[in-house]
Homo-oligomer: A and B are copies of this chain.
Amino acid sequence: MTQHARPVLMTEMTWPDYAEALKGDPVVFLPTGTLEQHGPHLPMGVDHMLPLAICADVARAVGGVVAAPVCYGYKSLPRSGGGPFFPGSVGLDGGTLSATVRDVIRELVRHGIRRVCVIDGHFENRWFLNEGIDLAMRDAAGRDLHVMCLQHWDFLTPDTLAQVFPGEYPGIELEHAAVLETSLMLHFHPDLVREDLIPDNAPADAPPYDFWPARRAWVPEEGSLTTARGASREKGALMAAQYRRDISAAVRREFGLDA
């Protein structure tokens, strides 16, 4: 498909490429995530690698471009990412992440961009992304700016979940380094998955509150919050295809693009 030949990553585009793209009034996709432990079998960049790949897929489908990824995100909590117990997890202060998103959007607006879609891959980022976007909207008061923000797993349909989890879906908070992320990585970056090390641990058993200092006992030793057994490249391909279809459709609908 010729669309795939068009450059979509701003990091790889020259400025005349981007100037050319601007003529089409494109949506800019901003991939956000973090650097964080993802069990014994997944690389620590999963949370920004997946959004980057999904952004590229959707940008190709709708004629958009992809900004450079924001590789660092908010602090991991035990209930959703394993917390501070694993070396390698790096957490920004919330204000730092919000400021980054605010600044990047302000600059895109300066280029003439009117539509931004943030695609995030790190559960704990959501509210600091929201805040950065809200502040950018305030900065852009009176200008024509529309911003959409999503975490990719929220697009999974009951139908997809039924195929990925023939048993029960453990819920997204436990899906850290588990079947969803492992399958998607097997699809997008198979060479970075250590399939022989995929863990089969019991699910994390965290109570309905957070606690500081973090409780080690709430988090499985492996770092994955529930078993990743059952992950497969096919499931990853299935999810990626559904993302491409449904996120593209939402982007077209919300930003008023021609189908």
Contacts and interface: CB of A to CB of B under 8 A. Distances in A.
Interface of A: 9-16, 18-19, 22, 35, 37-45, 48-49, 67-72, 74-75, 77, 84, 86-96, 98-100, 103-104, 107-108, 110-112, 124, 126-128, 130-131, 133-135, 137, 145-150, 154-155, 192, 194, 197, 207-213, 223, 250, 254
B71 A87 contact: no
A149 B77 CA distance: 12
B48 A68 contact: yes
Nearest to A136: B212
A12 B135 CA distance: 30
Task: Among A103, A108, A254, find the residue whose CB has the most chain B CB atoms closer than 10 A.
Answer: A103
A127 B77 CA distance: 10
Contact of A91 (B103, B112, B133): B103
B11 A44 contact: yes
